[in-house]
Amino acid sequence: MSLVSHNPATGEDIESFDELTDEQIEKKLAMAQDAFVSWGKLDFDDRKEKMLKLAKILKEKKYELGKLATLEMGKPITQAVGEVEKSAWVCEYYAEHAEDILQNEIIKTDYKESYVQFDPLGTILAVMPWNYPFWQVFRFLAPALMAGNVGLLKHASNVPQCALAIEEMVLEAGFPEGVFQTLLIGSSKVEQIVVDDRIKAVTLTGSEYAGSQVASQAGKHLKKAVLELGGSDPFIVLADANIPQACEVAVNARLQNAGQSCISAKRFIVAQEKYDEFVGIYKERYEQIAIGDPMDEATQLGPLVNRQALEEIDEKVQKSIEMGAEVVHGAKRIEGAGYFYEPTILGNVTKGMPVYDTEIFGPASAIIKVSSTEEAIQVANDTPYGLGSSLWTSDIELAKKLSKEIEAGAVFINGMTKSDPRLPFGGIKKSGYGRELSDYGIKEFVNIKTVVIE
């Protein structure tokens, strides 16, 4: 089997890579096991030095790496460069803070002494997606390695060059061989790695189906898993919201990365008093979006990742229109090379339509009119997912109260949902479980060990 690097802007294959054989996989597992013996004992200062060097390399190569991401999955170049810069940030964050986060926690008891220490687990398998080919990996890599673990990366099959570039940079930064390795394999070989005794835990970002498969495999073998899966994030606009500001943010919240983000806003739940104003301004912003070659710095919207993604979003949009959704803007493919889709707004969306009921992984917005704040929260929670959410109102105290009612891993008030190294990130319901980033993320893959002195 070959892993193919494919340019979604042109529809052309770039390069293919042979999948690792079972013998090669075994060698990499053994290398990881050997590397952990010494890496797990290394002090924080040595790990910090290498992690800061890695951040420096990312910054120095941000344009080169950005072009690689754009080439393999179609992200507009300015967004791709920003993703690399953010990857450097997470490396710097954990380089500076890991030691403090993982210092022994003293517990006052009637023992002579009692405390909790945080020991690394060993080799962690990361199964990562294509939509943020650098950020998704580094937000796992930085905390895992700073905690003393070693990592194996099974990246998405369509971004093999990004996957190899990450391993090369890790080695260039001075990390010992085997501390972080890329596995060029397809999904069919993931299970044999998950169940291997040398793998101590697994983290996956991807689809609900992929998450359920890996979670099942890990659970059967009593291994911890952290899952970040799909999302159908609500963007709730109450009657007292600043509509021009909300619309300005809404465009980026929906169209960044061509809408191919788990935490992008997908369902826009708007108070009926402001519905017409919101739709009008939102449409004006959509009409100004620059669509085209993702390598052009002026481009704001690039292609979808492949033909299947293009066909799936068009099918959901057309079915919703047949069921009564109003076409406010777009709603069709863009003819020519590559997998481009018009930025789309569907109004008067109701329950039962695909754009209401399912995750829309592309540049299509579903706008839902509600008659009250209570209905807005009910609609926001009317989804099997619970990843992020955005709430717009001028009443901050009300927003804080409503944040307790919204079923999601995050609520951003008057702002766009985003990940940040300083804050925990993850979801509930079918959006997965566990947390990445912040203090919580680095402690997902450590042994929280009690030590008592009588």
| 180-238 pLDDT tens trace | 999 999 999 999 999 999 999 999 999 999 999 999 999 999 999 999 999 999 999 99
Tokens of 441: 């993320």
Q: What is the pLDDT of residues 391-416, one digit of tens each?
A: 999 999 999 999 999 999 999 999 99
Quote the CA–CA distance of 234 and 437 in Å, as a whole number: 22
User: What value, to the nearest 5°, has the Cα angle with vertex 346 and ends 342 and 351?
Assistant: 135
Given this model, what pLDDT does residue 25 score?
98
- Confirm whether 91 is a catalytic residue: no
Q: How is the chain split into domains, by residue range?
A: 2-229+431-453, 233-420
Please list the residues that pair with 114 across neighbouring strands: 452
Mean pLDDT of the chain: 98
- Confirm whether 262 is a catalytic residue: yes
Q: What is the largest CA-CA distance in the chain?
A: 75
Class of domain 2-229+431-453: alpha beta
Positions in the chain short of pLDDT 70: none
The architecture that CATH gives domain 233-420 is 3-Layer(aba) Sandwich (3.40)
Residue ranges with strand state E in 230-384: 233-237, 265-271, 326-329, 344-347, 364-370
Quote the CA–CA distance of 395 and 410 in Å, as a whole number: 19
Q: Which position among 72, 83, 92, 228 bears the catalytic label? A: 228
Q: Which position among 247, 262, 342, 444 bears the catalytic label? A: 262
The H or E element spanning position 225 is: strand 224-228
